[in-house]
Amino acid sequence: MGELLEIWLKKLHGEPMISLTEADVIAGEGIAGSAKEPGTKRQVTVLSKESWESATESIGKFVNPKERRANFIVSGIDLEETIGKILQIGELKIEVTGETVPCKLMNEVSEGLRDALTPEWRGGITGVVINDCSVKKGDLVKWL
């Protein structure tokens, strides 16, 4: 089992992420109040603390995981090769729709970060929200 360490909200595209201690999540949409990508299978993104640390260690620089712009950071859970699986965070259920492919913005954060996030799905996962619920830091995380 893993743990939910951080929750981040993106109110507007391009704006800084907002740290939350808890959040309401809406089925078929994502975190309440977040910038939406209509008709997408990328309603939320999840990042693994361990994968992020591996990526930043490989470039030899500390980078705050908030810069990845994911909605959730978890520990103790392997996210690689999980398309179609259901990740449960507290009561929240997320169907994994794909790998979060690192974009060019990652190199603006730190040179070489984009390439460092590419192996082993270090950039995290995307998914669709299956149920309405609330999540909070410290919630347990597991695969169903």
Q: What is the CATH number of the domain that holds 64?
A: 2.40.33.20
Q: Which residues in the chain come in under a pLDDT of 70?
A: 37-39
β-partners of residue 107 are none
Residue type, 127: G
How many structural domains does the chain have? 1
Q: What's the pLDDT at 80?
A: 96
Question: Distance between CA 77 and CA 17 in Å, rounded?
Answer: 23
- Give pLDDT tens digits for 48-68: 999 999 999 999 999 999 888
pTM for the model: 0.94
Range of the domain at 105: 2-143
Q: What's the pLDDT at 97?
A: 97
Q: What's the pLDDT at 37?
A: 67
Question: Distance between CA 85 and CA 117 in Å, rounded?
Answer: 21
